[in-house]
A = this chain, B = another copy of it.
């Protein structure tokens, strides 16, 4: 198998906290408006102790070349390599185009257990940062035990809402973080995260960062929204 080298624009410090912005398929964050949207966002190493990754839609991934100081992730990746596949995106292609990670199994794009296991195995082989989304504690445990380096816990009923996962499910976050630690994984939490308190509560419960979408993308100023999430002083 060909080995591809990851050139990591985000810090390689594995103690850094992680903020992943899922830019979804909002009108302002994809297609013809994506260039100006991403241009205004902070660089991936803009904040000490944090790595910021932008999980962009499939059409927008080419912007990784235009914005080398921002770390782009995909919103979904397929476990296939190059070849006779229609409508698919491989880790090999992403790595070659400067993209070092991807979400997989988001509640808006669920895939089979077999695909997840193949993707986790391949990501480890290629040193690719796969972030496996889990809807509940059982899935967190399953994916951490399968070898996922990053597991994102997002209860689907809270996605896009105003009640943060850290307010609604603190006990589950604590348990999920412990399970991840035990398996050498790190936990990211998402759903309803809008303020620095939501983030800091999650970190205090043992998580390593947050997965945020509407709280940033639909904010009146997405760049300030990111700064506010990370810097307590600004909230």
Q: Of all chain B residues, which has the CB nearest A97?
A: B31
| Minimum CB–CB distance for A36 against chain B, Å | 14
| Interface bits A1-41 vs B (CB < 8 Å: 1, else 0) | 00000000000000000000010111100111000000000
Check B86 against A108 for contact (C-beta < 8 Å).
yes
Name which of A56-64, A118-126, A141-149 contacts chain B.
Answer: A56-64
Say which residue of B61, B86, B160, B213 sits within 8 Å of A59 (CB atoms).
Answer: B61
Q: How large is the interface on A (under 10, 10 to 19, 20 to 34, 35 or more residues)?
A: 35 or more
Q: Give the number of times this chain occurs in the complex, counting copies.
A: 2
| Interface bits A62-79 vs B (CB < 8 Å: 1, else 0) | 100000000000111000
Residues of A within 8 A of B (CB): 22, 24-27, 30-32, 55, 57-59, 61-62, 74-76, 80, 82-90, 93, 96-97, 103, 106-109, 159-160, 213-214
| Minimum CB–CB distance for A166 against chain B, Å | 20
List of B residues within 8 angstroms of A27 by Cβ: 82-83
Q: Of all chain B residues, which has the CB nearest A88?
A: B25
Complex-state Cα separation, A86 to B26, whole angstroms: 10
Shortest 3 CB-CB contacts between residues of A and residues of B: A76-B87, A58-B58, A86-B108
List of B residues within 8 angstroms of A83 by Cβ: 24-27
Check B96 against A32 for contact (C-beta < 8 Å).
yes
Check B84 against A75 for contact (C-beta < 8 Å).
no
Complex-state Cα separation, A160 to B59, whole angstroms: 26
